[in-house]
Amino acid sequence: MAYWRLFYHLVWATKNRVPLISPELEPVIYDYLRAKAVGLDATVFAINGIADHVHCVVAIPPALAVASFVGQIKGVASAKVNTQLAKTGRGFAWQESYGAFSFDAKRLPYIVDYVENQKQHHTGQGLIPVLERTDDSGVQLLREETAVYLTGKETWREEMMALGSAEASLLAE
């Protein structure tokens, strides 16, 4: 297999944003999402959300398209939840659209923290609206100041060497 580092922050909602993810159903849904993602050889860093949407931070292998990955994990979770809910007469469905944001390894801890604290963010403590998007209406690209990317060659080299050293020590454990 090829070496890869492809990080994504994914977000999608329940159909019509109906608050279907109850506190009792939440861990069940997240377990189904996590199990399918791992089954697709993805690495799951965080899954969390509120009653009407879910956030997922993952590394998806390059052989799998992001759209296919999202469709498969959403599909398995909704099918299994609907099987469980069949006796109650309740149904469960996701909306078709989703948001996908790629980012680099340096930002991974910040994105994981954002997702792990979804409930607090939605009570008015630090919500980042662009990271909550699930459709393409009025899409605007996120851009950092050019200077952020134009670090000196030595600074870049040192960062890459440190990253390689950190990975090597993790693999040796």
Mean pLDDT, each 10-residue run in order, the chain (173 residues): 88 94 94 97 96 96 96 95 83 92 90 88 76 63 53 66 59 53
Residues 166 and 97 in one domain: no
How far apart CA 4 and CA 43 sit, in angstroms, is 12
pLDDT for res 64: 96
Overall domain count for the chain = 2
Residues 133 and 167 in one domain: no
pLDDT for res 59: 97
Look at residue 1 and tell me if it is in a domain: no
Name the residue range of residue 159's domain.
143-173
Residues 156 and 119 in one domain: no
Residues 25 and 68 in one domain: yes
pLDDT for res 61: 95
Whole-Å CA distances, 145 to 15, 83, 95: 37, 49, 34
Residues 110 and 81 in one domain: yes
Dihedral angle computed from the Cα positions of residues 91, 92, 95 and 100, in that order, rounded to the nearest 10 degrees = 180
Residues 156 and 120 in one domain: no
pTM: 0.78
8 A C-beta contact, residue 49 and residue 68 = no
pLDDT for res 68: 97
Residues 167 and 84 in one domain: no
Residues 125 and 64 in one domain: yes
Say which CATH number the domain at 87 has: 3.30.70.1290
